[in-house]
Structure 1
Amino acid sequence: MDEGLRERKKRETRQRIADMAMGLFMARGFDNVTVAEVARAADVSVNTVFNYFKTKEDLFLDRSAMVEVMPAEVVRERATGESVIAALRRDFLDALDTRHWRYGFGDGSDVFAKLVSDSPALTSAMLQMHMERERALAEALMEATDADPDDLRPWLVATQVLNTTRVLTAHAARRMMAGEDWARIGPDIREQAEIAFGLLERGVGDYGARSGAGQDEKPPSSAARPNSST
């Protein structure tokens, strides 16, 4: 029980530091806030801040560890007979409809996007996070399809899907930053997402569909490649 209490207190301390940091970043901009100022606002030492967050960018991207693995978990938990594209489409549309933060649709996501665009350091950190997200998804696809190490399709599919969701999310953020109401943005992004995932489905097809026996079929040899016309 003592160990559980310690872990809970650690989580609470970490969350308090992250919340205080985000409040300062939103008020003054990421590059105008120091780690020392975050520490003072959270009533902890600078060393304590760095015990929980390796870099200042990690204070801003405090959910990055979760964000990086979420698409991979969707693939691993997809239903029998459900393709990779269908599973990721379902997850993306659910996040859109519920305005969940995992794809950047939560309240304040426009402010988040503006802070990133205004800071080269955050832009670089976000790029690194997206690369880790692609790597995690590609590895999940390799497992799901029992792909050979030299088979690039898991990496190609991961890149295509996640770049598609990034384009959709960025478009929504730009419209929110311009002051457009979500009542107009949401339905339009949903329509655009249906089109985008439709394009992916026609190009990627039933890649990674889970068999009824619970075992994923090994993809065809490297001689059989997806139609390159899409």
Structure 2
Amino acid sequence: MNEHVTLVDHPLVQHKLSIMRDKETSTGQFRQLLREISQFLAYEITRELPLENQAIETPMGPMDAPMLRGKKLALISILRAGNGLLDGVLELVPSARVGFVGLYRDEQTLEPVEYYFKVPDVLNERLVIAVDPMLATGNSSVAAIDRLKEAGATNIRFMCLLAAPEGIARMRQAHPDVHIVTASVDEKLNEQGYIVPGLGDAGDRMFGTK
């Protein structure tokens, strides 16, 4: 799409996303589809992980086999909805370290308020992938990336299900070094700061809350 955003337009991703958008889709199906799509997104966002050869023995003999190099990557869930993406990525990369940034959006100001922060050590030596289904205004995402950089992270990527043009622009302005991987760039934000056409509130639809 551009140097700042990768759009994962695989037909299976788009099909599953369309079912998620449907307001009749159940909470259980919504969660399952989010987990499935997260694995496609994780495949793309980890494409350039560094490798090194290690000596192993196959049933047919020795070989130098490519294995992941360096510190285990860090997955950072932006609570609460980020956990829906986190679970799927962990199935692909079970050795990853996991952290959490707890933010909620003030409904009047649309600004993020932090209530929790716990992340792995030596973030400066890890690829850090922050996950949140929705990149809407971008305020919460920017605040989370701010905190991760304060904690030492230098190599950060952002993974989301949906992005609004306004959120992409906000992230590009605040953190031009953070690449975004998403399944869709939607039309716009409405006056309440929700993505249109979007899929509603991802956290509410994941957990069955209002």
Same-fold status (TM-score > 0.5): no
Higher strand share: 2
TM-score w.r.t. the length of structure 2 is 0.24
